[in-house]
């Protein structure tokens, strides 16, 4: 089949879509992943009041909306913590590693979503 | 050919026949009858029976109504399962697949039905699971303490799972309770789960441990942890 200019454009567009589309078809948005995996401890607003935040735990889940807390970590450190768990950044092991469950790009997007939950004028970018 | 004479011998054979008839329905109770009951009661509306099941997008997971059971015979202990089917109690403090406080109601079966459905469920095993990796023996005090550290400190398992501590039942609510888990779960299956929970629950909220890039436990630790959970 000879490629005309029009169907060449269509083919190029399809090629781009194939490259952008997640391989498994399961990749979720950062908000969806946060709601499924993180809300159980951090709560939907990130303040650390999820259903698992019970008084017997060694520490409470971190308040992700608190600029004071969030300024302690660079974006790269948040990615490390999400991937390998709290101890990688001297946090408690209550924060588990999600690197075996989520893809690298999902974790990067999740870091940006976590950043967006910070409230106040002095939140890190 | 045996010739029957009227008298004690015939009476004795008669008694054997009567006993045989009385016991016939019980002898027939088994996986096939249990499967029929399971299907008649539409249990498959909530439980997936062939597996491994596929992962679905996270946004659709709260629609899943109950756990997959294609490996039930590898997971549960027979006696517990039959008793639970007769008198189900909540294993979660949230509705299945959600973070909403409460409990799903589960139909209770008659004693006879529980035995039949239990026999069917116990016949469903994971062919990939090799039994014998973890001993079901009681842990001694030193090993219990070592294992408890894995459970409460190395990874805070009770962050999501209730367990019976010295202070009483404590822990988070999003995962199934592990109070009395030793009566319910086979330690070998717990080990297989900890090594590869995606095989059994691809749609769970649980982090993945075992033979993975970001490993929190060694395999020896996973075995000890499994034995510990089998002792809870």
Angle at B180 between CA B111 and CA B205, to 5 degrees: 100
Q: Is B101 helix (H, G, I), strand (E, B) or coil?
A: strand
A38 token code pair? 């993180």
Q: What is the pLDDT of residues B184-199, one digit of tens each?
A: 999 999 999 999 999 9
Yes or no, beta carbons of B205 and A40 under 8 Å apart: yes
Packing angle of the helix pair B78-86, B111-122 (nearest 10 deg):
140
Q: What is the residue extent of each domain of chain A?
A: 28-116
Contact A56 B209 (CB under 8 A): no
Domains in chain B: ranges and CATH = 29-122 (1.10.760), 141-229 (1.10.760.10)
Lowest mean pLDDT among A18-27, A57-66, B127-136: A18-27
What is the fold, at CATH topology level, of the domain defined by A28-116? Cytochrome Bc1 Complex; Chain D, domain 2 (1.10.760)
Cβ neighbour number for residue B114 with a 10 Å cutoff = 21
Closest CA to B70 of B196, B200, B184, B191: B200
Buried (b) or exposed (e) across B18-47, using 16+ Cβ within 10 A? eeeeeeeeeeebebebbbebbeeeebeeeb
Inspect the interface and report whether the beta carbons of B213 and A36 lie closer than 8 Å: no
A57 interface with B at CB cutoff 8 Å: yes
Residue A5, min C-alpha distance to chain B (Å): 37
Q: B99 and A37: CB-CB below 8 Å?
A: no
State the angle between helix axes of A75-84 and A104-116 in degrees (0 to 180), rounded to the nearest 10: 120
pLDDT tens-digit readout, B56-99: 999 999 999 999 999 999 999 999 999 999 999 999 999 999 99
Residue B202's nearest CA partner among A26, A108, A32 is: A26
């Amino acid at each position: 089949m000879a490629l005309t200019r029009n169907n060449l454009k269509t083919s190029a567009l399809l090629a781009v879509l194939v490259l952008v589309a997640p391989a498994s078809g399961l990749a979720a948005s950062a908000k969806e992943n946060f709601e499924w995996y993180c809300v159980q401890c951090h709560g939907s607003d990130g303040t650390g009041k999820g259903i698992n935040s019970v008084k017997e735990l060694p520490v409470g889940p971190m308040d992700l909306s608190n600029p004071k807390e969030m300024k302690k970590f660079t974006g790269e450190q948040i990615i490390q913590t999400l991937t390998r768990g709290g101890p990688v950044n001297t946090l408690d092991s209550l924060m588990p590693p999600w690197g075996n469950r989520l893809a690298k790009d999902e974790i990067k997007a999740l870091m940006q979503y976590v950043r967006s939950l910070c409230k106040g004028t002095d939140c890190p970018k | 050919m045996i010739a029957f004479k009227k008298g004690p011998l015939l009476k004795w054979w008669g008694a054997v026949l009567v006993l045989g008839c009385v016991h016939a329905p019980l002898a027939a109770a088994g996986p096939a009858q249990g499967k029929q009951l399971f299907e008649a009661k539409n249990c498959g509306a909530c439980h997936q029976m062939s597996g491994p099941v596929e992962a679905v997008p996270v946004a659709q997971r709260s629609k899943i109504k109950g756990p997959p059971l294609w490996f039930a015979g590898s997971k549960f202990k027979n006696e517990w399962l039959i008793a639970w089917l007769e008198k189900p109690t909540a294993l979660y403090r949230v509705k299945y697949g959600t973070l909403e406080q409460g409990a799903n109601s589960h139909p209770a079966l008659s004693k006879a039905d529980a035995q039949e459905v239990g026999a069917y469920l116990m016949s469903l095993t994971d062919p990939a699971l090799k039994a014998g990796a973890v001993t079901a023996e009681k842990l001694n005090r030193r090993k219990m303490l070592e294992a408890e550290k894995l459970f409460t400190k190395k990874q805070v398992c009770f962050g999501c799972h209730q367990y019976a501590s010295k202070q009483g039942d404590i822990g988070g609510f999003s995962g199934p309770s592990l109070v009395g888990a030793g009566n319910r779960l086979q330690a070998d299956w717990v080990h297989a789960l900890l090594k590869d929970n995606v095989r059994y629950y691809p749609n769970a909220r649980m982090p993945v441990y075992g033979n993975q890039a970001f490993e929190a436990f060694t395999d020896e630790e996973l075995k000890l942890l499994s034995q510990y959970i089998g002792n809870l």
